[in-house]
Amino acid sequence: MGKRIYLDWNATAPLRPEARAAMVAACDCIGNPSSVHAEGRAAHRLVEQAREKVAGLVGAEPRNVIFTSGGTEANALALTPALAPSPGEAPRDLLLISAVEHPSVRAGGRFAPERIEDVPVTQLGVIDLEALRLRLAAVGSSGPGHRVLVALMHANNETGVVQPVAAAADMVHAAGGLLIVDAVQSAGKIVCDINQLGADLLVISAHKIGGPKGIGALVKRTEAIHIGEPLLKGGGQERGSRGGTENVIGIAGFGAAAAAAGTALARDRERIAALRDRLETQLRVMAPDTVIFGAEVERLPNTTMVAVPGIRTETALIALDLAGIAISAGSACSSGKVASSPVLSAMGAPETLAAGAIRVSIGATTTDRDIDAFLTAWRNVIAGLSKNRRGVAA
């Protein structure tokens, strides 16, 4: 088998050399970070150094970074009625989530299902800010004591569409609410500053930025924000927000990846965006009826979600995999079956088109040659799988 080409960076990014080196070095640190002896202090120092680097990536204070097992746990920890700007406040009684959130957000955390509502998005995949404003106004007019929590991702994992988080934050705060932002896909790819966004809580994940799998963080904008009861109770680690011995090796890798991603952000973003633009131009030349979802609005520089009428997702994925190219579907796979993407459904995409969507996501080590190889393979897919198609460039 020849060299495979990896174009699925939104699923997980390859491990950065800096992260690998930090993890290998941390393997020699035998102490428990909670122990008071020299070995314990050395482990604690590694954790705190990494905390500073992760905080730096998102413009936060290190003391406001809570390490978790990943983005899913961080979302579950944040999505609680007990969340408050300070201890002692009454619980949140309503959770509003955009219709394109990650499943870990759509699960609602510790909110009862009847206390969760969707906020629609436009056909371009951007949250309907007017719908959000009206719902917040309705909550406010229903009487005192109503407290809302809003969850809005920074950038969508499938389409790459960047959401107007700062504008939403202004609305939410004016209504006395709090805002949770899932920045798992945006951190390290675009500027992601918790203060500029106005997020009260921010969620990030190491393996999306070239760190190890199984480690993430929930980041608070201010130390005063009170989460309430932790999901994991135990020895009071992470300032009482998450019990359990810290994953020192994973945390060390996370910190190194965050520092590397922050340093390379401006350089990598420009080059990656140029690769994506060339890819999308050639896709349209190859098949003029190509649809690129969210292309009319701001997107992550590395993400292309594309469909061509007459192409089925599952067949395209298999054909590309056999050609040595790894990409993802724009749909959820379960038990060997491919179902339409909830994100595309929320955007109002026709079922026939959504059933053929694929996602190409690139990264720091993607080359022009990789893009060329994908385009060659995709041309073969179109030629081999399209029936009665016209307008496909030879």
* pLDDT tens digits, one per residue of 199-234: 999 999 999 999 999 999 999 999 999 998 899 998
* Average pLDDT of span 317-344: 78
333 is catalytic: yes
| Fold: same for 5-13+269-385 and 17-259 | no
Is the pLDDT at 235 greater than 90, yes or no?
A: no
CA-CA distance, 138 to 359, in Å (whole number)? 37
* Average pLDDT of span 365-394: 81
Integer angstrom CA distances of residue 121 from 100, 200, 217, 348: 7, 22, 27, 9
Phi and psi, residue 11, nearest 5°: -75, -50
* 289 vs 335, residue with greater confidence: 289
Is the pLDDT at 54 greater than 90, yes or no?
A: yes
Residue 336 binned pLDDT confidence (cut-offs 50, 70, 90): very low
Is the pLDDT at 60 greater than 60, yes or no?
A: yes
List all residues 6 or more positions away from 293 whose beta carbon is below 8 Å from its beta carbon: 125, 158, 159, 161, 305, 306, 307, 330, 344, 347, 349, 357
Phi and psi, residue 149, nearest 5°: -120, 130
pTM for this structure?
Answer: 0.94
CATH class, range 5-13+269-385? alpha beta
Residue 384: the pLDDT is: 81
Confirm or reject CATH 3.40.640.10 for domain 17-259, answering yes or no: yes
CA-CA distance, 294 to 264, in Å (whole number)? 26
Residue 334: the pLDDT is: 40
Structure tokens at 63: 């003391």
CA-CA distance, 58 to 183, in Å (whole number)? 9
Which of 378, 330, 367, 381 minimizes the C-alpha distance to 6? 367
* Average pLDDT of span 7-33: 97
* Average pLDDT of span 168-186: 97
Is the pLDDT at 2 greater than 80, yes or no?
A: no
Catalytic residue among 27, 29, 192, 333: 333
- Give me the sign of the Cα torsion angle 133, 138, 144, 147: negative
- For the chain, list the strands marked E by DSSP: 5-6, 65-68, 94-98, 116-119, 148-151, 178-182, 201-205, 216-220, 291-292, 303-307, 325-326, 328-329, 332-334, 337-339, 358-361
Q: What is the residue extent of each domain of the chain?
A: 5-13+269-385, 17-259
Residue 49: the pLDDT is: 98
* Structural contact between residues 36 and 45, judged by C-beta atoms closer than 8 angstroms: no
Q: What is the DSSP letter of 224?
A: T
CA-CA distance, 242 to 218, in Å (whole number)? 11
CA-CA distance, 219 to 225, in Å (whole number)? 10
Average pLDDT, the chain: 93
* Structural contact between residues 179 and 150, judged by C-beta atoms closer than 8 angstroms: yes
Residue 394: the pLDDT is: 46
pLDDT digits (tens, 9 = 90+) for 105-160: 999 999 999 999 999 999 999 999 999 999 999 987 665 557 899 999 999 999 99
CA-CA distance, 168 to 135, in Å (whole number)? 12
Specify the amino acid at residue 339.
A
* Structural contact between residues 253 and 215, judged by C-beta atoms closer than 8 angstroms: yes
Is the pLDDT at 193 greater than 50, yes or no?
A: yes
Direct distance between the N- and C-terminal alpha carbons of the chain, in angstroms, rounded to an integer: 27
Is the pLDDT at 388 greater than 90, yes or no?
A: no
Structure tokens at 171: 């609305």
* Average pLDDT of span 239-256: 96
* Average pLDDT of span 24-43: 96
